[in-house]
């Protein structure tokens, strides 16, 4: 008998093999992807608004200036990209699989959430280029986050 039933198992634990996407994992990943930029913006935005208001701007003029500001829009898109990548990591991690389809699903859910917000505030005060990029970046960034996580996980597994 070559196998020792009292020793440490040598076989790897099988990955999740059920077909399809865990929508629970994708939804939690999408919530993380949307929530992270929102939380960061909630912390960063009030001091900036306060400082600008001490410079004599009203809330109305401040809102118009920020929505048309290239720097503000780029910052919002970068935060959205980081959030989408985090969402891809969370979705892939929670799915228990080594596939990126959960990250794609999370990115699609983030796009659906953005579409709901977009159509509720139509016409949007943001520049068209910012709106278009806001709809284009969630899926690729979620996939990049998932790929980073999977690469890191495989490297960790090889060391173990």
**Mean pLDDT, contiguous 10-residue spans, the chain (160 residues):** 62 56 90 88 80 78 83 91 96 89 95 87 84 95 96 85
Tell me how far apart the terminal alpha carbons of the chain are, to the nearest angstrom. Answer: 26
Structure confidence at residue 3 (pLDDT):
63
CA distance linking residue 139 with residue 107, whole number of Å? 4
pTM summary value: 0.79
- Please give the DSSP secondary-structure letter assigned to residue 122: P
Long-range pairs, 3-9, Cβ under 8 A, ≥24: none
Structure confidence at residue 67 (pLDDT):
85
């Amino acid at each position: 008998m070559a196998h020792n039933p009292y020793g440490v198992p040598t076989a790897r634990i099988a990955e999740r093999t059920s077909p399809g996407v865990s929508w629970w994992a994708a939804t939690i990943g999408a919530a993380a992807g949307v929530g992270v930029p929102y939380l960061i913006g909630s912390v960063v935005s009030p001091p900036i608004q306060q400082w600008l208001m001490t410079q004599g701007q009203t809330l109305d003029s401040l809102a118009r200036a920020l929505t048309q500001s290239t720097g503000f829009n780029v910052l919002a898109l970068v935060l959205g990209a980081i959030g989408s990548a985090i969402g891809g990591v969370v979705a892939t991690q929670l799915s228990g699989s080594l596939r990126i389809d959960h990250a794609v699903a999370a990115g699609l859910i983030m796009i659906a959430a953005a579409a709901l917000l977009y159509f509720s505030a139509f016409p949007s005060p943001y520049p068209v280029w910012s709106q278009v990029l806001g709809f284009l970046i969630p899926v690729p960034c979620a996939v990049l986050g998932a790929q980073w996580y999977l690469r890191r996980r495989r490297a960790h597994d090889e060391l173990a």
